Structure 1
Amino acid sequence: NCLGALDGTHISVHVATADKPRYRTRKSAIATDVLGVCSQDLEVIYVYPGWEGSAADSRVLREAIYKKNGLKVPHGYYYLVDAGYPNSGGFLAPFRGQRYHLKE
């Protein structure tokens, strides 16, 4: 019942000096955070742009779920997410401490 996958990405931006601390990422770049969701067919089906680069992925996802016309996950379905997101209803994250990319 997997609908697809989602993740956040940073896009470099120019902002006023006073706003730079809010847009500074954990890698010190000045960027905006964008949540993207794709289907199993690799079609982009939802985009939530405009967050400060300092915003955590889980915070952006939470806001995307609760906003009007936001991201909806039907009961019994889920999206694959990375470890930066919570493993909760509608979202399946990898188990922490599990290595998935083993050398062959």
Structure 2
Amino acid sequence: MLVLMQTTESWALFQKAGLVQTLRFPGVIGCIDGTHIPIIAPSVNEGDYVNRKSFHSINVQIICDAANIITNVEAKWPGSVHDSRIFRECTLSTKFGHGEFTGYLLGDRGYPCLPYLLTPYPDPEPGPQQRYNLAHCRTRARVEMTIGMLKARFQCLQRLRVTPERACDIIVACVILHNIATIRGEHCPSEPNISSDPNHEHPDPPTDIQDGRAVRDTICHNHFL
């Protein structure tokens, strides 16, 4: 719904920043994650906004590049909606499915493994699979850092006391201001929390797609032996 950028030039910053060379993870063009932004209980469809942690929230999908620029944001979904559904129904997913982008997004186990969205091995075997998972984790940490920076810059995102519609507008405005601040080289007012979002979890991971597993196995075999 709410797209800021969909350019391969922006995502190519992963390669310019040296992440691919440093972590040996090929073809990365972005990292994806969801984060819950707490809101007050809405007067309409209140139950839809209650997430698995039993508080009301907007589940926001974030995609970032190597420079901590947020290249894509989806801010319209109630907290009860799973990450995999948000990605499945977003415009960007359709564009990837139609082959409009070359490269991979990295996501956690809240997403299915797709030919263009790679997830970790759930039970990695020693050797290449473990090295794949390590490189995947270290690279994908960029989106956790970016979300931490966003929330550190804008304390209002700790809990928005407005309607869901207004909350979504505020979230996107904060994303735009975060990008401007990042481009200008402004530091965060406080140290961002780069650990996994304590308000975010991934129950019942979606089923991986066969083609996605095949792509993952090929990358693992070709680059992590």
Please, what TM-score do these two structures have when normalized by structure 1? 0.81
CA distance in 2 between partners of 1:97 and 1:31 (Å): 31
Q: Aligned to 1:56, which of 69, 73, 82? A: 82
Quote the offset at 1:19 in angstroms. Answer: 1.8
Name the aligned partner's letter for residue 75 of structure 2: P
CA distance in 1 between partners of 2:59 and 2:122 (Å): 24
Match of 1:42 in 2: 68
Q: Which has the higher strand share?
A: 1
Quote the offset at 1:13 in angstroms. Answer: 1.4
Alignment size in residue pairs: 96
Aligned-residue identity in percent: 31
Name the aligned partner's letter for residue 78 of structure 1: Y
CA distance in 2 between partners of 1:76 and 1:12 (Å): 35
Q: Deviations over 1:32-80 (max 9, x none)?
A: 111000012221100000101000000000111xx3xx35444541110
- Coordinate RMSD, CA, aligned: 1.9
Contiguous gaps of at least 5 residues in structure 1: none
Q: Which has the higher helix share?
A: 2
Contiguous gaps of at least 5 residues in structure 2: 1-26, 125-129, 135-225
1:1-104 to 2 correspondence within 5 Å?
Answer: 1-14=27-40, 15-16=42-43, 18-64=44-90, 67=91, 70=92, 72-73=95-96, 74-98=100-124
CA distance in 2 between partners of 1:86 and 1:53 (Å): 19
Q: Which runs of 4+ in 1 moved over 3 A?
A: 70-76, 98-101
Query: Which one has a bigger Cα radius of gyration?
Result: 2
CA distance in 2 between partners of 1:97 and 1:54 (Å): 27
Please, what TM-score do these two structures have when normalized by structure 2? 0.39
CA distance in 2 between partners of 1:40 and 1:46 (Å): 13
Name the aligned partner's letter for residue 40 of structure 1: A
CA distance in 2 between partners of 1:92 and 1:40 (Å): 17
